[in-house]
Amino acid sequence: MNARFTLTDEAIRAALTPAPQVVAPSDLGASIRATMRVTSQRRPWLSWPFRAPARASIRVLVLVGLVGLLLLVGLLIAVGALPSPKPVLPSDAAMFRGGPGRTGLVIGPGPTTQPTIIWERSVGGAITANMPAVVTGVVYVADAGGGVTAFDAATGDQRWIRQLGSAANTSPAVGAGLAVVGDAAGDVVALATDDGRVRWTFHTAGEVRSSAAIVDGVVFVGSADGNLYAIDLATGAERWRFAAGGAISRSPAVEGGVVYAGAAGGVFSAVDATSGIRRWQKALGAGQISSPAVADGLVVAASGLDDAANVHILFALDAASGAERWHFPSPSSEQLIIGSLGEGTVFAPSDDGNVYAIDRDTGVFRWQFGDHGPLGSPDALAAGVLYVAGGDQAVYAVDVRTGRQRWQLALTGEPGVPAVVGGRLYVATSLGSVVAIGAAP
């Protein structure tokens, strides 16, 4: 008991007694710094960014940054050495005027020197102002006799023919293994591209002279019943219809999720491709509206068609709002249409026998080529050459910069819109023939 108290008293006295003063040597700091300089300072590799900043960490960061910069520079040099991407062109010539935008731009190239007729085949009726569809080595045409025919593009051999029972005055549109055409009975018909059998038929209440556009599995087509239709490509089921305010006799253009179409009475509409709801509408004057062309925020169409008494004007409109950017009246007061929409130029064939080249941004006249009979067909544009279907039963190749003729070739019958693929032109004529034009064998 007393021992415990003695220990406790001693502990209390020790705790209350001040510790002797410890005096560090005056050179202790210098000694520590010298020792650190010669001693490796190890840190766990995952923890160094999270510790207090140190010169070594900063040096590592700088080194990593320099290495990353060098790698980035090397990557940029490697990418720069690759060839520049080319403009996106339509695949083959799958529909009227080359693609759904109806710009007339086709994949090409065409013959660069004086060509010749490689093969010529007859069909059961006239083909007026329409274009053959050329896809993966097969040429598809529809004629006024009601036939749809597939030819081998290389040889002209017939692969199949399908009779629709009514005049088919449209250009076929090809996509997903189907060739889609419209006929005078008001039907839109989808045929299998391998053998021509009918996959589905969609009926409208008026003649279909409007060549279909196919975009993202949907067929867009107009009818004389005054409606613009969106039809499911796979099934033929109607997705929506839009009342355009008059009969539609020309082809719609599709670009950027919007469908553009004109109707009798000069009503021109922009319609949402998904919902069928009107985005904007504009009156362009009396008569029918030509098939429009649309690209890069600009839509171009001509008014006053099908009546010589009408005023014939080419309009350039803002694709988003419909606001007019410029207009170009026909110099001869004859009917004119939109032929092709190039990078800087609009080409407009006219019934006065000329093609007018117009500045795309300003609407200012550049040059004209022609006096070759009424040009009721759009032209085709490929690799700096404009291919013109002349009303004088000839095809012309014209330099797009100067308007100078490169060559011409006489045909039997008035040609329609040329399809330009793989060094050849494929043209259908008013006398019911299909012609392949290319370099002499």
> Which two structure tokens, joined as six digits, stand for 89?
């062109």
What is the Cα–Cα distance from 178 to 421, expressed in whole angstroms?
A: 20
Give the position of tokens 């803002």. 318
- Phi and psi angles of residue 38, each rounded to the nearest 5 degrees, phi first: -100, 0
At 72, the pLDDT band (50, 70, 90 cuts) reads: low
- For position 440, what pLDDT does the model report? 82
- For position 68, what pLDDT does the model report? 59
Q: Which of 272, 292, 298, 188 is nearest to 232 (CA)?
A: 188
CATH architecture of 96-438: 7 Propeller (2.130)
- For position 349, what pLDDT does the model report? 94
- Phi and psi angles of residue 72, each rounded to the nearest 5 degrees, phi first: -65, -45
- For position 27, what pLDDT does the model report? 52
- The neighbouring-strand residues paired with 293 are 300
- The predicted-structure confidence for 299-324, as pLDDT tens digits, reads as follows 999 999 998 889 999 999 999 999 99
187-192, strands of its sheet edge to edge: 173-175, 178-182, 187-192, 198-203
- The predicted-structure confidence for 318-353, as pLDDT tens digits, reads as follows 999 999 999 999 999 999 999 999 989 999 999 999
Q: What is the mean pLDDT of residues 427-440?
A: 95
- For position 281, what pLDDT does the model report? 98
Tell me which of 262-271, 367-376, 432-441 is least confident. Answer: 367-376
Cα–Cα distance list, 75 to 67, 108, 257, 308 (Å): 12, 34, 36, 62
Cα–Cα distance list, 199 to 51, 156, 189, 191, 195 (Å): 71, 25, 8, 6, 11
- For position 309, what pLDDT does the model report? 87
DSSP 64: H
Q: What is the mean pLDDT of residues 355-374?
A: 91
DSSP for 153-175 reads TTT--EEEEEE-SS---S--EEE
Q: Which of 349, 330, 352 is nearest to 338 (CA)?
A: 349
- Give the residue with greater pLDDT, 1 vs 220: 220
- For position 378, what pLDDT does the model report? 83
DSSP 21: P
- For position 300, what pLDDT does the model report? 98
Q: Which amino acid type is present at position 210?
A: S
Q: What is the mean pLDDT of residues 257-278?
A: 98
- For position 375, what pLDDT does the model report? 75
Domain ranges of the chain: 96-438
Whether pLDDT at 168 is above 80: yes
As a whole number, the mean pLDDT across the chain is 85
Q: Which of 185, 252, 272 is nearest to 225 (CA)?
A: 185
Tell me which of 356-365, 379-388, 429-438 is least confident. Answer: 379-388
End-to-end Cα spacing for the chain: 129
- The neighbouring-strand residues paired with 354 are 370
What is the separation of C-alpha 321 from the centre of its chain, rounded to a whole number of angstroms? 20
At 4, the pLDDT band (50, 70, 90 cuts) reads: very low
- The predicted-structure confidence for 106-162, as pLDDT tens digits, reads as follows 888 999 899 999 999 999 999 988 999 999 999 999 999 999 999 999 999 999 999
Whether pLDDT at 368 is above 60: yes
- For position 70, what pLDDT does the model report? 58
> With contact defined as beta carbons under 8 Å apart, do 211 and 251 qualify?
yes
What is the pTM for the complete model shown? 0.80
Coil, strand or helix: which one is 401? Answer: coil
Write the CB contacts of 105 (distance below 8 Å, at least 6 apart in sequence): 89, 90, 98, 99, 340, 341, 342, 381, 382
- Give the residue with greater pLDDT, 125 vs 1: 125
At 69, the pLDDT band (50, 70, 90 cuts) reads: low
Whether pLDDT at 8 is above 70: no
- The predicted-structure confidence for 373-400, as pLDDT tens digits, reads as follows 777 678 899 989 999 998 899 999 999 9
What is the Cα–Cα distance from 285 to 146, expressed in whole angstroms?
A: 33
- For position 288, what pLDDT does the model report? 94
- For position 71, what pLDDT does the model report? 58
- For position 92, what pLDDT does the model report? 74
What is the Cα–Cα distance from 282 to 285, expressed in whole angstroms?
A: 9
- For position 377, what pLDDT does the model report? 76
Whether pLDDT at 425 is above 80: yes
- Phi and psi angles of residue 335, each rounded to the nearest 5 degrees, phi first: -60, 140
Whether pLDDT at 88 is above 90: no
- The predicted-structure confidence for 186-238, as pLDDT tens digits, reads as follows 999 999 999 999 999 999 999 999 999 999 999 999 999 999 999 999 999 99
Whether pLDDT at 73 is above 70: no
DSSP for 171-238 reads --EEETTEEEEE-TTSEEEEEETTT--EEEEEE-SS---SPPEEETTEEEEE-TTSEEEEEETTT--E
- For position 370, what pLDDT does the model report? 86
Give the position of tokens 């008569």. 287
CB atoms within 10 A of CB 168: 31
At 90, the pLDDT band (50, 70, 90 cuts) reads: very low
